[in-house]
Chains A and B, each alone.
Chain A
Amino acid sequence: MLTFTEELLLLLGDEEGLFLPVKEHAFECALAGAILMDLAFAFRIDTDLQALVITDPTPTGNPMLDRVLEKISARTDVTDTPAWIRVLATEDAALIREQALDSLIDRRFLKRQHNRFLGVFRSVCYPTLDEAPLQAVKSRIEDVVSDEIPDPRDVALISLVDACQILPDLFPEWEAKQTASRLELLRKMDLIGRELTGAISEIQDQIIRAARAQAACFKRSLLTLALTASVAIIVTLLVPSIGVPDRYGLSLPAQLWFDGSWKQFSGYLLLVLSLVGLAIAIALKKQLLVWVSGSHRWRLSHLVLGIACVFTLFMHTGFRLGSNLNAALMGTYLTVLLSGALVGVVVGGAPRFKQISLNRIFAARRVLIRVHALALCPLPALLIVHILTAYLY
């Protein structure tokens, strides 16, 4: 029998062996929740509002579960379910995922395949070898949603999947409202043994809550960083260039902005930072970086790189906007940076713009991302000309 963790991983896999980007960053939390559900179904733990307690410390025989069980019994500082989901999501999710994947590979359901993207980015994907187990899991969920009387494990599975908010991705043909009311009904039915109901609903609750907290935290960081970037870019655009002192001798401004070697250093640093930023964006788009930690950290690091670019740009130019093609390069580059930062502001600030409809926010986000991508197109050509003229003339 598959564990919840394994079933969840099967469900998240797509045709290419990559994993669906789990909404609201619930992936680690869902993994943490899945393993707690596995333990609850194995009658090893129980939960209530105050604490998560071990009811039976005997090993289950599954090394993945036993390791977590051991950890729960060893740690006394973590007591309640939310805390445990947080701890497992941050400390153990990667290992849990690896162990579950190993187990699926051992059973020849999946295979591990190493790829290279553009010859540089290494990525691993897990194409399906055997469709049957996935179909079995999916049909179990379908059965639950149709009027069948579900098995307690099925109820637990669907609550887990629901917590991940991937039902619309798995079953696009389902009506969201109907599904929701059916799930609500199932939750009220006393289908699982009394000893499990509490645990499962508590775990599901906590998964959602933890995921939301993480999302809110992400959006807060996103907004802070994006606002920082926007302000820095607007300052770059509006503040007049910083002059150099009218004194002979080495001064930092004169060196930074008029010395060939410093200009080269800051220029190439800018190029490297931009390229890394671009690489992260491509990797995100191609889902090379979603893994366990989720994409949000990479999205944040994309933004951090953007901010680093603005500061390096200051180092390179001292707020000088240049003339002719250099001005065009500066304009294009700042457009890329500003549109990117504004995407961050829109996405990160979405929960705060209550009076604006979500549709509008999404539209703004789409337009900004397009501007971001469009402004990127002429950049390599302008940059090459900029570098060439620096050396040729």
Chain B
Amino acid sequence: MKQIAVAVGFLWSVGVAMTTAWASEGVSYAKVADMLYQVMSANREVYTRVVVQRLTVDEKILTASEHFEDDASLPLPSQMFRFVAEAVLDNTEDFSYSLLSLHPINKKNGPATDLERQGLEHVADSPGESFYGEEELGGERYFSAVYPDYAVVEACVQCHNNHKDSPRRDLSVGEVMGGVVIRIPMD
């Protein structure tokens, strides 16, 4: 599990190094955020398909669950996404990202800033669009981008609709469940 996380983290770092290098040569913040988002969503998709889908559904060797360590199972794709996001913060403060929702299972993944709320509402109301803005946090200015996060497969919807802590239980496949927020410090 850890190896996978490390490998994904490494790929990320390479992607980040490249994108930040471009940023310094005058690529706009929005473009950098877009590129980071592409890496993130591709990684997530690959993990879901190549690891989770294959081992749990196709080959039925393992299951994926929230308490994957106790259950000796795979981490859920959304957990994997957050682990890597935290691993990135262990290494750099050049950018940060999070997977958030207006109706999260864990309250700490709800909007924490005005811009997050605005962005999450925007991507929920206008599917297909992303949201860009600037905000000041802890005395520093950040460029923040919010991208829609969809319920791609039935498993996402089922878990969210049945989880005891979920505030929303009427999600359906294809619907926007939340958003990915990417932040880049502007100095």
A and B touch in the complex (CB under 8 A): no
